[in-house]
Chains A and B, each alone.
Chain A
Amino acid sequence: MHPTSNRFETNVAEALADEQLKKALARTAVGLPSARERAVAKLPEFEALRDDAVALKQHVLEHLDFYLERFEQKVIEQGGKVHWCATHEEARQTILKICRDADAKTVTKGKSMIGEEIAINDYLETHGIEPIETDLGEYIIQIRKEPPSHIVGPAIHLNKEQVAESFRKTHTDLPPDRPLDDPADMLKEARTLLRQRFLKADVGITGANFLVAETGTTAIVTNEGNGDLTQILPRVHIAISSIEKVVPTLEDADTILRVLARSITGQDLSVYTTFSTGPKRPDDPDGPDEFHVVLLDAGRSEMLGNEFKDMLRCIRCGACLCYCPVYTAIGGHAYGWVYSGPMGAVLTPAILGHEKAAHLPNASTFCGRCEDVCPVRIPIPKMLRHWREREVEQGKASAVSRIALEGWAFIAKRPALYHTLANLKYSVLGLLGRKKGRFASAPFTEGWTKHRDLPAPQGKTFQQLWSEKGGRR
């Protein structure tokens, strides 16, 4: 998809005016956090597992070159191929070549954020190959030609009427008056339709929740089983993954798995956790003939060396989105790209370039809930602040920010001046506001008073009053 992160303010205005989105987000904001809380309460070792996951990820990142090389070696030993891609374009071209070599007409897809990131669907379509999303949520947004609005629940922003409408518009072979009021009806329809696509597909593309260096294994985690049907039915299985997903051993994978589903859906484990190693063996009755792993860098290797390194720990659980007051007010599409919420606000500028997503790190209250719930304890507000620091260093902060902050700092650094001005201004304001105690509007405060009254100062400042009292200094 074409990023619109630089249209953030327009996106936000549209989102805030969308009553239907508001209802959907209210569901997300309450339903998913309560599920997480229940799961966490049932596992006494949860905090220890989080610390363990942090230690694991930090170790891997310090030795990322080693683990990637070992992973590659093992994949090759098992009869698979590894393709290293520095950029999105390279990844697209690599995947297209594999599909062409396989004479592919249709490609089924398990849910993959990297797939969204490189916009592989559009690319394949342009080159005459039909991609079919199989995750129910991804399928819904594919037929609506929308980007995902949440990394785990891509269609979370829709109500069932909208889904039904899309099904009617797209599945034109079916009787137009068929009942589609119940999500169960839509599920049945999608299952039947997609089953046929699964069976006929030439290539299956999945993502990878992690890569295991010990065995050359890629692992996926789904609830639907679509990732499995995507990879065992076609002749070719392509697993696409960014480079930071590798873990050393199968036991290391267990630590990540124990915190992953719990953090988002509240399950101990997702229904299907699948570990895939190489193509099918000579005596396997089913499975793909070819196994490819496409490794994508696209900014990760650089992040390893800068102040955003901790972001590479992200396991894409999506918990931070559900807890974020900004995300739950504006939804995922407002962020303008495939990664939204707090993790999207850190990652999008890192991958697309700061100037293409400058608003995202600024649109945060730093409430800190994201860091609180992140299974791998990423200090997200700190990461967001680093983006703001870069903006200030490059002189790119907004005029409002710069004037307000410089003005304030100038006065605040001069206590005598500060107190004099304060005594003047706040006494006056206090007098003006005495009767009502608030202002519905005031010069230079439109941002505030657009939606809120501004409480009036009480009058003299504390310091002034303290002096008058002869208070101890």
Chain B
Amino acid sequence: MFLRAEIFKLVAMSAQSEKHTVGLFVTCLVDLFRPSVGFAAVKLLEDNGCAVAVPRAQTCCGQPAHNAGDKKNAKDLARQTIQALEGFEFVVAPSGSCAGMIKKHYLTLFTETDPWKKRAEDLAAKTYELVSFLTDVLKVKKVEAQLEGVATYHDSCSGLRELGIKNQPRKLLKTVKGLTVKEASQPEACCGFGGLFSVKYPDISNAIVTAKTDDLEKTEADIVLGGDLGCLMNIAGKLKRQNSKLQVRHVAEVLAGMTEKPAIGEGEG
């Protein structure tokens, strides 16, 4: 009955207009730590022809469990997520690692004969990371946003290597009025987060994030941007510990022109 109501809503939604129906996969980090990223994502999608819904039954995509070798919990969370997101034309997540988990790894969790496999494949086919969805699917060429300053971009590993996200954020950032993008010498170098790795091997993680923050500081940019909150919190946490002036935001915030809230790890004063 719950499902039927959802489908009815969906039909109603798309009947309303020619808009794409998008289910937003918020991701646990955005939900819990930085909702403004979620709102930025919604704005970007709505500004570009999407009707956005946020299913309530979503929590975590299961990537931490999957990477930790916990097959059972990974599968349980995958099933839950698939079920929550099935009813939409597209599913969009403001995170390369969560989108990567759904798009690349869900299908490997189920055997050929498991009915969930087809459901996972279907979901994978329509799941996208936010920025690449805008450029590659919606063919968005520019954003209506303004930010004075110099930004440098951190390429999160999953987004880059699993989903090929590299040029898309840079293309859109170029259209932000007043903003210049300056590349670090190793924008693709890992930030040392790696989920649980950051707390299981904190000293190694620290060495890696220090190399990253050193590289970012050298650009003399004002702001660090990226597409994954895990990386960004890790980088921001390190920068703040070092008393750095460098600000860190999710790229969606800048693209949506929603930078009123304090940057990551900064307060209201």
Contact = CB atoms under 8 A, between A and B. Distances in A.
Interface of A: 12-13, 16, 325-326, 329-330, 362-369, 371-372, 385-393, 397-398, 400-401, 404-406, 408-409, 411-413, 415, 418-419, 422, 426, 433-438, 440, 445-448, 450-458, 460-463, 465-466, 471-473
Contacts of B238: 451-453
Contact of B204 (A363, A388, A465, A473): A363
A412 B39 CA distance: 22
Nearest to A457: B33
Q: Which of A392, A408, A462 has the most CB of B within 10 A?
A: A462
A368 B156 CA distance: 11
Given A368-B162, A463-B26, A388 B190 contact: no
B67 A13 contact: no
Q: Which of A12, A325, A435 has the most CB of B within 10 A?
A: A325
Interface of B: 9, 13, 26, 28, 30-36, 38-39, 42, 51-60, 62, 64-71, 73, 76-77, 80, 157-158, 161-162, 188-190, 192-209, 211, 233-234, 236-238, 240-241, 261-262, 264-269
Nearest to A460: B35
A461 B31 contact: yes
Nearest to B59: A412
Contacts of A389: 69-71
B267 A438 contact: yes
B234 A461 contact: no
Q: Which of B80, B190, B236 has the most CB of A within 10 A?
A: B190
Contacts of B201: 12, 362-363
B198 A437 contact: no
7 contacts: A365-B190, A368-B158, A368-B162, A413-B80, A452-B241, A461-B35, A473-B54
Given A363-B200, A405-B73, A455-B34, 20 more contacts: A362-B197, A362-B201, A365-B157, A367-B161, A369-B161, A372-B161, A388-B67, A390-B69, A405-B70, A412-B28, A415-B58, A422-B32, A437-B266, A438-B266, A438-B267, A452-B238, A453-B238, A455-B240, A457-B34, A460-B35
A369 B39 contact: no
Contact of B55 (A398, A434, A473): A473
Contacts of B56: 415, 419, 463, 473
Contacts of A397: 68-70
Given A389-B69, A408-B60, A455-B236, A330 B207 contact: yes
A371 B161 CA distance: 9
A16 to B, nearest CB: 5
Contacts of A418: 59
A438 B31 contact: no
A437 B59 contact: no
Nearest to B233: A455
Nearest to B237: A452
Nearest to B161: A368
Q: Which of B73, B188, B207 has the most CB of A within 10 A?
A: B207
B33 A455 contact: yes
Contacts of A452: 206, 209, 234, 237-238, 240-241
Contact of A369 (B70, B190, B192): B190
Chain A to chain B: the 6 pairs with minimum beta-carbon distance, closest first: A365-B194, A388-B69, A447-B199, A437-B267, A452-B237, A462-B35
A224 to B, nearest CB: 31
A447 B26 contact: no
Nearest to A330: B204
B265 A438 contact: yes
Contacts of A462: 26, 30-31, 35, 38-39, 54
A211 B204 CA distance: 38
A448 B196 CA distance: 10
